[in-house]
A and B are shown apart, each in its own frame.
Chain A
């Protein structure tokens, strides 16, 4: 299968002229960093471009940062797997950005405080310990969140240029991209970031619109909708259809993520804090609402077009991404969109599109690297030194941190093995920070009685969002309510394991109130009835071998004492091994539960433990 992937990527139209276009663009980006280096001498200039960014430049830099190659890739993946129904994510994001632009919700008040980072506001409102803790949570969630950016970006480059994905090409591309971004972020700070973001916006907007147009032309407008209807049915259009992979819970989660992306996510807020005035800031968000929608919708469209292309025009790719034989493992569908573009775009144009995508990659990375390194310097290290660090030292530390974070994302990209969609991975890791941050910013800016104890509790409980990650759930699956403990496997035949029978427990009479409370608390957790036919269908079985090795598979059918999976990829279970079952919680559900939980502890902590001396007025 691996050689089939190599064969698929090698059929690209990417040629020498395209390499030249990409090289020229990269040299231009790096030379800008050297040009503006002399202005990056103090921390305000380095981090906030001297708070002198105008409205249109603000829109360009906000779009440049938020429409990264990672966005294009994960949105295309969503379009590939869910069809047009994925458009709802972009529509909600645009509507929420428009609301924030019109009302100035959170961002205007934050800008009025003239802080450089969000944790700096925490200190003003809740005290130093909250700032340091907030900085740690922010850095932890943020670094996990950007952990896969480099790998996914490199996958795009490999897929579209026709390099060999089975060799070392992916690793080499990761290193080259990383070095390029590090050079111009370390040297120029926010000023070079803002100016390169502008150039990147220009190239990106042309590139993505042309790519969308050509993608539709290659598969045909009518065929596009017809194929999705045939293969995905109602779920390909309706995000809340019964068989949809989304549902109401997911849509609600996307609404909250819309607020997060605009008003809580530090890279977006950093752009807001760099604006010359609050009027410019509101205009920036109002106009950027279009970008917030388009950054998802056009890549979704590219993914849908790739799906239609695979299903109707490229039988070799269909075997790759959607094999008929259940024993054959499908190739990572992140490769679908770049391979599709590599085949439909003509030479010359493909170089421009690749340059646009690398532009998107770099504009996101520079913003993120600068943001997280600044948070660690300003909000963790500097407060620990009781603000005795001078400006040159802070800039030096920030630059060292940028390099260290770069090395970390290289490491994480190579070793993380989670299987969720990239968008869902990012939502969950981001939630570690933003579930707590929402309470602190919303409460701090709009509620006088918000206290530092409530703030600390909310930040700490935000960490529970980490349970939305697949590998973490697997590690603690026996503690998830409704899961089944390990039981011994007695035999294995034809993809079916047999184990000690499940027996239906006898109903116990509970009094009304405790029963109602238990039902309420257990509502988010599914309860299986494994003694019924197919009672465990769709659940995850964790089989542990006697040597300690483990594998997880999805149960396709079950009965009292047996469960069947379509394949056992790692090893064949045998008598004496053990099996346990759990139902994975979706990232959306864990995220929504975490928000409710952090808000509760924030309000509870603030009411029970109010601050002795009131901090500054919340809405001065």
Chain B
């Protein structure tokens, strides 16, 4: 079957286009099964997290042996306040950018009628 348009019998009529063939259905190849199952990574992360906490706990115990509860709370107070100052700066700057991004997304969704 030719792809040429079929000439119309009526000279004024537009040419009749041949029927379009639907594009062939291509099934995507199955995703390769990961060699390492996901739970292994979860387990590793959990072990890592527990290790971090364990290390912190060991550090606290060593600190306790040296300076007692009073010293621990002094270090805790200064440490957490210092970290909170850093966090506050990051959130103030990053949060302002995130608010702008959020409003832009909502405007786009509103414009597209979603």
Contact = CB atoms under 8 A, between A and B. Distances in A.
Contacts of B68: 237
Interface string A281-299: 0000001001101100110
Contacts of A604: none
Given A87-B76, A201-B91, A209-B84, A53 B102 contact: yes
Q: Which secondary structure dominates chain A's binding surface?
A: helix
A63 B95 CA distance: 12
A56 B45 contact: no
B95 A297 contact: no
A580 B85 CA distance: 54
Contact of B95 (A36, A56, A234): A56
B58 to A, nearest CB: 13
A237 B69 contact: yes
Contacts of B109: 45, 50
Contact of B84 (A38, A103, A205, A301): A205
Interface string A376-409: 0000000000000000000000000000000000
Interface string B78-92: 001101110110111
A578 to B, nearest CB: 46
Contacts of A184: none
Contacts of B110: 38-39
Interface in B39-58: 39, 42, 45-46, 48-50, 52-53, 56
A214 interface: no
B52 A102 contact: yes
A99 interface: yes
Interface string A90-134: 110011001100111000000000000000000000000000000
A52 B106 contact: yes
A110 B87 CA distance: 26
B98 A291 contact: no
Nearest to B73: A84
Interface string A538-570: 000000000000000000000000000000000
A335 interface: no
B94 A54 contact: yes
B97 interface: yes
Interface of B: 39, 42, 45-46, 48-50, 52-53, 56, 68-70, 73-74, 76-77, 80-81, 83-85, 87-88, 90-99, 101-103, 105-106, 109-110
Given A50-B106, A57-B98, A87-B76, A238 B69 contact: yes
B87 A287 contact: yes
A58 B110 CA distance: 22
Contacts of B97: 54, 56
B98 A87 contact: no
Interface stretch (A155-163, A190-198, A343-351): A190-198
A55 B98 CA distance: 8
Interface of A: 36, 38-39, 45, 49-50, 52-60, 63, 84-85, 87, 90-91, 94-95, 98-99, 102-104, 191, 194-195, 198, 201-202, 205-206, 209, 212, 225, 229, 234, 237-238, 287, 290-291, 293-294, 297-298, 301, 619
Given A54-B94, A102-B48, 9 more contacts: A52-B102, A56-B98, A84-B69, A94-B80, A103-B42, A202-B95, A206-B88, A290-B80, A290-B84
A53 B103 CA distance: 10
Nearest to B60: A91
22 contacts: A50-B105, A50-B106, A54-B94, A56-B94, A56-B95, A56-B97, A56-B98, A58-B98, A59-B87, A59-B91, A59-B95, A87-B77, A94-B80, A102-B48, A104-B45, A194-B102, A201-B92, A201-B95, A205-B87, A209-B85, A290-B87, A293-B80
A248 to B, nearest CB: 15
Given A39-B106, A84-B73, A55 B87 contact: no
Nearest to A225: B70
A209 B84 CA distance: 9
Contacts of B87: 59, 205, 287, 290-291
Contact of B53 (A63, A95, A201, A237): A95
Nearest to B110: A39
The interface centre, meaning the residue of B45, B74, B90, B102 with most chain A CB atoms within 10 A of its CB, is B102
A225 B45 CA distance: 39
A99 B49 contact: yes
Contacts of B77: 87, 297, 301
A99 B53 contact: yes
The interface centre, meaning the residue of B50, B74, B91, B97 with most chain A CB atoms within 10 A of its CB, is B91
A195 B48 CA distance: 34
Nearest to B69: A237
A36 B74 CA distance: 44
A395 to B, nearest CB: 16
Contacts of A39: 106, 110
Contact of A209 (B50, B81, B91, B99): B81
B94 A55 contact: yes
A619 B38 CA distance: 10
A60 B95 contact: yes
Contact of A54 (B49, B69, B98, B106): B98
A287 to B, nearest CB: 6
